[in-house]
Amino acid sequence: MDAKFPHAAIQCLTAIAQHHGIQIHPERVIHEYALADEEPADSLLLHIASEIGLKARSDRLSWDGLCAQQGVFPLLARFQDGVSVIVVGVQPGEGGARVAVVDPLAATAGVQLYEREAFCARWQGAVVFLKRSYALSDPHQPFGLRWFIPEILKQKTAFRDMALAAVAMHVLALAAPMFFQLVIDKVLVHRTMSTLSVLAAGVVIALVFDAVFGYVRQLLMLAATNKIDMRLTRRTFGHLLSLPIDYFETTTAGVITRHMQQLESIRHFLTGRLFFTALDTTALLIFLPLLFAYSFKLALIVLGFTLVLAGIIAALLPTYRRRLDALYSAEGKRQALLVETIHGMRTVKALAIEPMQRRMWDQLSAEAITTHFRVGQISISGGTITDFLGKLLPVTIIVVGAQDVFDQTITAGVLIAFQMLSGRVVQPLIQIVGLINEYQQTALSVRMLGEVMNRPSEGRLGAGGVRPQLKGDIAFEDVTFRYPGASINALDRARFRIPAG
C-alpha cells in the first residue's frame, strides 16, 4: 500500500485486483478518472472495478453475515469515516470470531485482527464484493465446468451437425405414429392391402434414414470427443508437469492419480448425457404443435403434466444444491484428515494417537455418508415422482381420449398416434431429473480435479505481470529491523542510497 495517496478505496481496489492477477496501479486509476481528494462513491467504484476487469457488487452485511461468508475474500469494507479496508478473511475462535483486515492508511503494513466491538464501532455493514471477470477463452480462469467450454466449442461444427441430425431424427420419429394412425383409421376400416404396402414401405424407409442419422450422430460424437479428450489430457498433464516440486512432496501419488482420473467422467457428462438430453428437449418444439393439432384438450393435459414435471425439477434444485454443498464440505474435511494423517504418520506413531485419529475418521466418514445419503434421497424422490407421473400420463390420455373417441371427436388412430407422441414430449423432462444424480458426481469430480488445475504453476508463481516503470534509485531512510525474539536491533535507523545505474 502506498501511504502518499489519500484514496484508500482505490488502493484497496487495486490491491484486490493484483491479488486476482490484474496488474493496475493506484496512480493510473486516480489519473484516468481525475479523482479528487474525496473517496469515490460506490457507483463510481463499481464502474472502475468493471473497467479494470473485476465483477463488483455492493451490499450491506451484519457481523454474523460477514463471518458466515465463504469463498468471497478478499472483499472491500467501507467504514463510516470514509476509509476503506480489505477484509482478507475471518478467524474463528472460542471467544468469538475476528476479521483479518489490511488497512492501506495504517502506519504499519500487514494484516490486523479486529474483534467484533472494535470493527463494528467503525463499520456499519457496507461491503463491496469483488472477483475477477474471466473471458470464456481465458486460459487462466479457475477450473470448473466453464473451463471445458472453449475446448468443446472448437468442435462446434461437429456438434452443429449432430444437432441437425437430431432434428432430422425428430421429424422421422413422426413416421411410426402416423403409420399406426393411418393403418387403424384407413387400412383396417377399408381393408386396402395396397395402402398398407405403401405405408409399410414408407415407414421402413423412414426407419432406415433414422438409423443412418443415428449412426452419423454417434460417429460424429465419437470423433469430436476423441479430439476433445486429446486436447484436454494434454492441457491437464502439461499443467501437472508445471507444478512446483513442493506440491508432489506434500501430496501423495494416490491422491494426485485419483484427481487426474476425473477428467473423463467430466467430459463424458458434458458431451454425453447432458448434450443428448438437451437435443431431446428440442423435440418439444416439433411435437407440441402437432399434439395441439391432433387434440387441443389432450394437448393441454400433456402440457399440464409437463409443467408439473418442470415445477418438481425447479423445486428440487435449491434443496439439492444445499445438500450438495454440505456433501462437499464433509468430503473435504475427510479428505483433509486423510492427507494430514498420511503426511504426519511419523508423528501419529510417535505420539500413539492412532485411536484418536481413527475416532476422528469414523466421525467424518459418518458425516460424509449421511450427507451422501441425503443427496441421494433427493435424487430418488425426484426420480420416483417423475417416473410415476410419466406412467400416469398415458393412462390419463387413454381414459380421456377414449371418451373423445366415443363422442367421435377424434378417431382411434389419432388417439394411438397422440399416445406415442406424448411420450416423446415428457421423456426429456424425466431424463433431466435423472441427470441430477450424475451432476452430483460430475461436480465432485470437478472439485477433485480442480485441486490440481487451480494450483499455480512454476511459470506463474510470483509472476507480476506489467509493473510500473522503475527509476532504479533506491534509498533507505531511518530503517530499523529486529529479528524475532532479539533484544537489540540488527539495523538501527540505517540510512543509505543506491543511485540509478
- pLDDT of 457-488, one tens digit each? 875 544 444 455 666 778 888 888 887 767 78
The residue among 103, 132, 161 that closes a domain is 132
Question: Do 77 and 212 fall within a single domain?
Answer: no
Q: What is the CATH number of the domain that holds 332?
A: 1.20.1560.10
Question: Where does the pLDDT of residue 129 fall: very low under 50, low under 70, confident under 90, or very high at 90 and above?
Answer: very high
The span from the CA of 168 to the CA of 182, in Å, is: 22
The residue among 98, 132, 166 that closes a domain is 132
Asked if residue 2 belongs to a domain, the reply is no
Question: Do 284 and 372 fall within a single domain?
Answer: yes
What pLDDT is recorded for position 492?
A: 84
Spatial contact of 402 and 295, defined as CB atoms under 8 Å apart: no
The span from the CA of 30 to the CA of 44, in Å, is: 12
Say yes or no to pLDDT of 7 above 50. Answer: yes
What pLDDT is recorded for position 6?
A: 67
What pLDDT is recorded for position 139?
A: 67
Question: Do 66 and 186 fall within a single domain?
Answer: no
Work out the number of other CB atoms within 10 angstroms of the CB of residue 488: 7
Asked if residue 138 belongs to a domain, the reply is no
**What is the average pLDDT value for the chain, to the nearest integer?**
84
Spatial contact of 72 and 129, defined as CB atoms under 8 Å apart: yes
What pLDDT is recorded for position 384?
A: 87
Say yes or no to pLDDT of 391 above 70. Answer: yes
What integer is the mean pLDDT of 342-367? 88
Asked if residue 328 belongs to a domain, the reply is yes
How does strand 123-132 pair with strand 474-481? Answer: unpaired
Question: Do 448 and 315 fall within a single domain?
Answer: yes
Asked if residue 42 belongs to a domain, the reply is yes
Question: Do 286 and 351 fall within a single domain?
Answer: yes
Question: Do 85 and 198 fall within a single domain?
Answer: no
What pLDDT is recorded for position 135?
A: 74
What integer is the mean pLDDT of 127-135? 86
Question: Do 401 and 483 fall within a single domain?
Answer: no
The span from the CA of 104 to the CA of 83, in Å, is: 9
What pLDDT is recorded for position 501?
A: 64
Largest CA distance in the chain: 113
Domain that holds residue 119: 8-132
The span from the CA of 89 to the CA of 68, in Å, is: 10
Phi-psi category of residue 53: left, alpha or beta, with phi > 0 → left and psi -120 to 50 → alpha: left
What is the number of domains present in the chain? Answer: 3
Backbone angles phi, psi at 351, to 5 degrees: -90, -5
Say yes or no to pLDDT of 386 above 70. Answer: yes
The span from the CA of 66 to the CA of 326, in Å, is: 20
Q: Which of 258-262, 341-345, 377-381, 459-463 has the lowest mean pLDDT?
A: 459-463
What pLDDT is recorded for position 469?
A: 61
The span from the CA of 5 to the CA of 84, in Å, is: 13
Say yes or no to pLDDT of 103 above 80. Answer: yes
What integer is the mean pLDDT of 213-236? 90
Using DSSP's 3-state secondary structure scheme, residue 430 falls into: helix
The span from the CA of 213 to the CA of 216, in Å, is: 5
Question: Where does the pLDDT of residue 211 fall: very low under 50, low under 70, confident under 90, or very high at 90 and above?
Answer: very high
Question: Do 181 and 225 fall within a single domain?
Answer: yes
Is the dihedral angle over the CA atoms 362, 366, 367, 369 positive or is it negative? Answer: positive
Say yes or no to pLDDT of 89 above 80. Answer: yes
What integer is the mean pLDDT of 250-260? 79
Is residue 250 classed exposed, middle or buried when 0-12, 13-18 and 19+ CB atoms within 10 A define those classes?
Answer: exposed
Question: Do 301 and 346 fall within a single domain?
Answer: yes
Question: Do 170 and 118 fall within a single domain?
Answer: no
Grid cell of 118 as nine digits: 472494535
Q: What is the CATH number of the domain that holds 42?
A: 3.90.70.10
Percent of the chain with pLDDT over 90: 17
Question: Where does the pLDDT of residue 340 fall: very low under 50, low under 70, confident under 90, or very high at 90 and above?
Answer: confident
Say yes or no to pLDDT of 353 above 80. Answer: yes
Question: Do 263 and 399 fall within a single domain?
Answer: yes
The span from the CA of 127 to the CA of 97, in Å, is: 18
CA dihedral 271, 275, 277, 279 (to 10 degrees): -140
Question: Do 321 and 411 fall within a single domain?
Answer: yes
Question: Where does the pLDDT of residue 77 fall: very low under 50, low under 70, confident under 90, or very high at 90 and above?
Answer: very high
Q: Which residues lie below 8 Å from residue 459, measured CB to CB, with a gap of 6+?
A: 242
pTM value is 0.64
Percent of the chain with pLDDT over 70: 95
